[in-house]
């Protein structure tokens, strides 16, 4: 997606002494990942601004990314498809945050169910990222800790009427769980 730009960045790093020629491929990969991440951040910010939920999208992205790293789940097969699916997901979540009230007992129940699913099922590896047993244990512990912390923050914010934070964490956890379940379903179809 950003191959030429990443290559140019790596060449400039080598040319100006910021990188070793032998590690150029690593720097190209890193530059490409950085450019993709920057594009995602800009896209998410623009969606948040257009829909009128900028801060909710920022909180959502922080909660989602920190949890998704360790829970696993569905991953698109190419960077372009990943970008498109992430953009569609964030747009849908932004619309839900704008028009769906997330407060009260249903929020608590859904967050509790998400926490249970994360603690029981994660991490869900896939073809793009398979994990050995040791990695699964580490990822599970981190997913449970982060999930528990997010649920605790959501409950505290709900109690104090900070529904923007609660809703953002709510939609992040729901999105993560949906992607975990989607990958499990796709695995059963591949077999």
pLDDT, tens digit (0-9, with 9 covering 90-100), for 58-97 = 999 999 999 998 998 888 888 788 889 999 999 999 999 9
The span from the CA of 56 to the CA of 81, in Å, is: 24
Burial of 147 (0-12, 13-18, 19+ CB in 10 A): buried
Residue 142 CA from chain centroid, whole number: 15
- Beta bridge partners, 124, equal 72
Q: What is the crossing angle of helices 24-51 and 54-71, to 10°?
A: 140
Q: First CA to last CA across the chain, in angstroms?
A: 31
Over 80: is that where the pLDDT of 2 sits? no
pLDDT, average across residues 39-43: 89
For the entire predicted model, the pTM comes to 0.84
Over 70: is that where the pLDDT of 174 sits? yes
DSSP characters for 43-80? HHHHHHHHHT-HHHHHHHHHHHHHHHHHHB----SSHH
């Amino acid at each position: 997606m950003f191959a030429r730009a990443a290559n140019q960045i790596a060449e400039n790093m080598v040319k100006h002494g910021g990188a070793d020629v032998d590690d150029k491929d690593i720097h190209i990969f890193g530059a490409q990942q950085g450019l993709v991440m920057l594009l995602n951040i800009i896209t998410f910010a623009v969606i948040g601004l257009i829909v009128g939920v900028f801060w909710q999208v920022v909180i959502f992205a922080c909660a989602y990314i920190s949890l998704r790293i360790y829970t696993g789940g569905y991953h698109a097969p190419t960077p372009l498809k990943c970008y498109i699916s992430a953009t569609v997901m964030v747009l849908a979540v932004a619309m839900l945050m704008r028009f769906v009230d997330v407060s009260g007992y249903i929020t608590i129940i859904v967050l509790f169910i998400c926490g249970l699913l994360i603690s029981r099922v994660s991490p869900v590896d896939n073809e793009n990222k398979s994990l050995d047993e040791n990695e699964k244990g580490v990822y599970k512990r981190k997913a449970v800790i982060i999930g528990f912390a997010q649920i605790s923050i959501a409950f505290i914010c709900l109690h104090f009427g900070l529904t923007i934070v609660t809703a953002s964490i709510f939609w992040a956890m729901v999105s993560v769980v949906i992607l975990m379940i989607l990958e499990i379903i796709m695995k059963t179809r591949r077999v």
